[in-house]
Structure 1
Amino acid sequence: MAATVCSNGALAIILLSYCCCNVFFLPASAPPSDDFLQCLSDKIPPEQVYTQSSSSFMSVLTSSVQNPKFLTNATVRPLCIVSASDVSHVQAAVRCGRRSGVRLRVRSGGHDYEGLSYRSVRAEVFAVLDLARLRAVRVRAGNPTAWVDSGATLGELYYAIGMANPGFAFPGGACPTVGVGGYLSGGGIGLMMRKFGIGADNVLDAMIVNADGELLDRGRMGEDLFWAIRGGGGESFGVVVSWRLKLSMIPSTVTVFNIAKTAGNGGDAADALAKWETLVHQPFLPELTIRVVLQGRTALFQCLYLGGCSRLAATMRAYFPELGMMPADCHELTWLRAMSFISLGSADAPPEDMLKRTNNLGTYVKSKSDYVRRPMGAPAWGTLFNQWLANNTNGILILEPHGGVVGSVVPDSITPYPHRAGVLYNVQYGVFWWGGTDGEGAAAARRWLDGLYAAMEPAVSSNPREAFASYRDLDIGENVVGGDGVTTYESGRAWGERYFMGNFRRLAAVKGRVDPGDYFRNEQSIPPLLHPY
């Protein structure tokens, strides 16, 4: 979630002392874990609390896990999973956790790239607060806003909007199983951000349970905390249980296409990419988004255009003839069906398929991210294909174009997401393998990914080398807890300034004000800056 400013150092110290008292003065006969479970039993139905001895514990734990590398025997697992179906359950879990000294890790969709929403890197007693049952979407025809619970998926959000309010849309991402809570708390880059901004730019209000178990809306939480939760990362400031979103008017028909280009042997993928990256930063054509997926020797150009095929074809002929787009490539669809096409790869895919909640327990994956601020050019793309992608068909790059509104209209400080002015596109690197975490397959995958990441260094942003908080990567740094039991600000800077750049200090100051005792903590949570001035 997010962080805020500590304007009163004395108050912060008092609150920290109070938090510590809750932990240190438990009766010796009541270990924190026992006290926590007893506290929960008084406030939450027992069938919604899954302890490690429960027959359903592993099935609930793995229900939304997207990376089996975090399910090994060495993984530090939670004391229990609290499957909240009401906001009061969230409040009870926070209050019981504070009283007992048991921290919570909060999970919505389970796509956390380092699994920190349901596991710990180091040995500790913690519980998972699973929000999958808090998944309501409240939208009305003709109303340009919607309330959505954090446990809903993007697919469920899109479906509810498209069915109840087809003249409107929300600028979200391409993966329908991503949880809304995680998506917005990381900022939310997506397919219409060139026209409408990132997801976090379109949050009007939110309901958060803070470290004292209080339920606060925007007015009660204050503008600093409201700023922080819209892109400042998950699990740092509280538990956001629901969000009020601004919806954007769209045409009744939008156009999509998938066009693949091949690199080498007469293919022209490198030339098409070189032209694409000179176009994405332009302020014109914000209604046109073309993302690119690179794998093997193929570059797949995926387009979403807020208009009809004839206008799109004319635009492509004028500005991007290298792609060779023809009217036959077009699919004119409703926005809902267009999102289904992009997510599922077929114009015939029913939107209902975006409602399926799936996990991934077979394919292991590791990801990293970068931002590009100057064109790489055709020779560099050719080298990337020949030396890296063509040699490993289990590697993938996804390029998300910025520019338009997100790059030239919205200031870097309007939300914690700072990768705006001057950014051409985000790069997500991924590598897949099978057969566990310790074999040669895993080692070879990491060698390939680390080598590619090092080779890309001259082409991407520097000082700092930017990274995307939603593609969490522990390689770039982990928190260190000081002798006072609080995450040190300096340890957080190592990774935090790469995710949040100049906004990191403000996030830490917010954290210092709203959670000075650092209750909401993980390996890459925002550290509390208790004396920011």
Structure 2
Amino acid sequence: MAKPSLAYLFAAFLLLIVSISLSKPSPKSSLYDTFLHCFTQHTNSSTQFSNIVFPQSNPKFPFVTQNYIRNARFNTPLTQKLLLIVTPQVESHVQATVICAKSVNSQPNINLGGIIVNVKNEVAMVQAGATLGEVYYRIWEKSKVLGFPAGVCPTVDVGGHISGGGYDNMLRKHGLSVDNVIDAQIVDVKGNLLNRKTMGEDLFWAIRGGGGASFGVILSFTFKLVPVPKTVTVFRVEKTLEENATDFVLLFMRLLLQPVSSKVVKGGNTIRASVVALFLGGANEVVPILAKQFPLLGLRKENCTEVSWMDSVLWWDDDKSLKNGAKPETLLDRHANTADFLKRKSDYVQKAIPREGLEFIWKRMIELGKTGLVFNPYGRKMAQGNLFKVQYSVTWKDPSLAAAQNFLNQARKLYSYMTPFVSKNPRSAFLNYRDLDIGVNNFRKNSFQEGEVYGAKYFNGNFQRLIKVKTVVDSTNFFRNEQSIPLAPSKA
């Protein structure tokens, strides 16, 4: 693929944010002045730097900082606040930002949103801050028979999704999102702009699942697109406990499990189990397959909806919006300033949960009242010892501290109840849900012992290799956060 114009990519939409400083600048100069002076020294652009670097006093600053918060729990007076916003226009601006963030001991975060799709070569170059919905839309603009296997939540940013591994409904056929990443661009701790060839295979491996923020500032990924049929089939089948949902769950596909009001027991609650699935083909093909393999599912053609791959993306986001005539353009809506309060946790299941175990889980879920489970199946390319991943999911709108404590406690209790049924030694977790309950690092001190607690849970046997990569590419541990990869003990 011919290298696209970076000027075009940056112009599309981008935002570079420098997060909270760990030390204060000299009393004789503000952080803004110190950063701007450094920025001027490290770029050759003719653009007015005052139009690139914005201090907190800028009137647009509060709107921009809130615009990209996806969890309202992190939009409170106690949340660490941004200090500067940088809107780079060329690569050198990003490189200078990394260098100058070091000079004021601050952490850079990035949101670059350009997308270029090359249908002839079946690839797409996507900057880290583009959302999955924007990626799907830009692919659909150019081709109706190409897609990309990434998540079902369209407002998730590409950088976080890919650097945490990434998976979607096509993983059984096409593997994880990272299995289809063929190149990347990253600015390292020295301000060097690197691609796959110049960064080396170890770092390229690390940023596709090891958490990119531990190693540098990722600018973009290049995807190998995958073929999709002109017609795919989506379906949803629901049953409650009164309709033998436990038998239904024992079949297992992708399951949504939620406490709901019972229609049988007045004033009581039950569990609703919903199988939701994507089939890369027509309804006439999938119905007889599932009738043979999963007869208890009772799938009928009327349960199925035949759509294009693009419309299946809309269906997964919100099937009601598809029924109401939603258009692909809705994927370009970032839903600014509409975040709910939420908590997500995760587990992996390696042995089938017996019926009595499921019945115990249903009882506990009904008692708690709000927290739901999502069982995400593996298999085929993902058959590596895990049967499925469990997501604990609770979302609420009440901004009070009492509400937050109530719902957080619910999620944590259900997580505790699931202990006998999930992976052990370590009890594994999915990086992209970033669960601080499982361990945090005092990143100012870079405690290897603290990092090892969550690192083993997220990465299992890959943790030691990630430590080696981290120690080589960022020996001063500049790129760090509460759950970043720590340095090797000898360097800590």
Counterpart CA distance in 1 for 2:446 and 2:400 is 29
The answer on 1:90 being equivalent to 2:49 is no
Residue 235 of structure 1 aligns to a residue in which SS? helix
Question: Are 1:486 and 1:518, in contact at CA under 8 Å, matched by a contact in 2?
Answer: no
Question: Are 1:67 and 1:364, in contact at CA under 8 Å, matched by a contact in 2?
Answer: yes
The answer for the alignment partner of 1:184 in structure 2 is: 162
Aligned pairs (5 A) from 1:342-361: 342-345=316-319, 346-347=322-323, 348-359=325-336, 361=338
Counterpart CA distance in 2 for 1:51 and 1:256 is 48
Counterpart CA distance in 2 for 1:355 and 1:362 is 16
Counterpart CA distance in 2 for 1:45 and 1:307 is 53
**Residues 55 and 32 of structure 1: CA distance in aligned 2, closer, same or farther (over 3 Å):** closer
The answer for the alignment partner of 1:208 in structure 2 is: 186
Give 1:77 deviation, angstroms. Answer: 0.9
Show CA shifts across 1:210-248 (max 9, x none): 111111111100111001001101311011111111111
Counterpart CA distance in 1 for 2:490 and 2:432 is 28
Counterpart CA distance in 2 for 1:531 and 1:507 is 15
TM-score scaled by length of structure 1 = 0.80
Counterpart CA distance in 1 for 2:366 and 2:278 is 25
Cα root mean square deviation, aligned: 2.2
- What is the letter of the counterpart of residue 82 of structure 1? V
Equivalences, count = 450
Question: Are 2:184 and 2:196, in contact at CA under 8 Å, matched by a contact in 1?
Answer: yes
* Bigger shift: residues 138-147 or 38-47: 38-47
Question: Are 1:489 and 1:508, in contact at CA under 8 Å, matched by a contact in 2?
Answer: no
* Bigger shift: residues 67-76 or 313-322: 67-76
The answer on 1:338 being equivalent to 2:301 is no
- What is the letter of the counterpart of residue 172 of structure 2? R
Counterpart CA distance in 2 for 1:84 and 1:372 is 44
**Residues 322 and 84 of structure 1: CA distance in aligned 2, closer, same or farther (over 3 Å):** farther
The answer on 1:161 being equivalent to 2:120 is no
Residue 401 of structure 2 aligns to a residue in which SS? coil
Counterpart CA distance in 1 for 2:27 and 2:63 is 34
Aligned pairs (5 A) from 1:115-154: 130-131=110-111, 134-154=112-132
The answer for the alignment partner of 1:313 in structure 2 is: 287
Counterpart CA distance in 2 for 1:343 and 1:76 is 30
Show CA shifts across 1:73-130 (max 9, x none): 12221212224444332212101112332222x2xxxxxxxxxxxxxxxxxxxxxxx4
Question: Are 1:262 and 1:298, in contact at CA under 8 Å, matched by a contact in 2?
Answer: yes
The answer for the alignment partner of 1:49 in structure 2 is: 53
Residue 470 of structure 1 aligns to a residue in which SS? helix
Give 1:327 deviation, angstroms. Answer: 0.6
**Residues 227 and 55 of structure 1: CA distance in aligned 2, closer, same or farther (over 3 Å):** same
Residue 200 of structure 1 aligns to a residue in which SS? helix
Residue 166 of structure 2 aligns to a residue in which SS? coil
**Residues 364 and 222 of structure 1: CA distance in aligned 2, closer, same or farther (over 3 Å):** same
Give 1:41 deviation, angstroms. Answer: 6.2
**Residues 50 and 293 of structure 1: CA distance in aligned 2, closer, same or farther (over 3 Å):** farther
The answer on 1:515 being equivalent to 2:474 is yes
Unpaired stretches in structure 2, ≥5 consecutive residues: 1-21, 260-270
The answer for the alignment partner of 2:454 in structure 1 is: 495
Counterpart CA distance in 2 for 1:157 and 1:206 is 16
The answer for the alignment partner of 1:120 in structure 2 is: none
The answer on 1:36 being equivalent to 2:14 is no
Give 1:177 deviation, angstroms. Answer: 0.6
- What is the letter of the counterpart of residue 472 of structure 1? R
The answer on 1:528 being equivalent to 2:490 is no
Residue 318 of structure 1 aligns to a residue in which SS? helix
Counterpart CA distance in 2 for 1:212 and 1:438 is 42
Aligned pairs (5 A) from 1:433-512: 433-436=396-399, 438-439=401-402, 441-481=403-443, 487-512=446-471
Show CA shifts across 1:156-204 (max 9, x none): 1111112212222111111001001110000002111111110111110
Q: Residue 255 of structure 1 is aligned with which of 215, 220, 233?
A: 233
The answer for the alignment partner of 1:415 in structure 2 is: none
Show CA shifts across 1:140-170 (max 9, x none): 3343221111111111111111221222211
Counterpart CA distance in 1 for 2:200 and 2:339 is 43
Counterpart CA distance in 2 for 1:71 and 1:175 is 21
Counterpart CA distance in 1 for 2:91 and 2:358 is 49
Show CA shifts across 1:338-397 (max 9, x none): 1111112135432221221024656311111101111113332233223214641x3221
Unpaired stretches in structure 1, ≥5 consecutive residues: 1-22, 107-129, 277-289, 408-420
Residue 96 of structure 2 aligns to a residue in which SS? helix
Q: Residue 373 of structure 1 is aligned with which of 350, 366, 378?
A: 350
Identity %: 39
Show CA shifts across 1:243-291 (max 9, x none): 111111222211111222212xx22221111111xxxxxxxxxxxxx42
Question: Are 1:142 and 1:165, in contact at CA under 8 Å, matched by a contact in 2?
Answer: no
- What is the letter of the counterpart of residue 162 of structure 1? W
The answer for the alignment partner of 1:11 in structure 2 is: none
Residue 332 of structure 1 aligns to a residue in which SS? strand
TM-score scaled by length of structure 2 = 0.86
Counterpart CA distance in 1 for 2:114 and 2:144 is 18
Counterpart CA distance in 2 for 1:36 and 1:60 is 20
Higher relative contact order (CA 8 A, sep 6+): 1
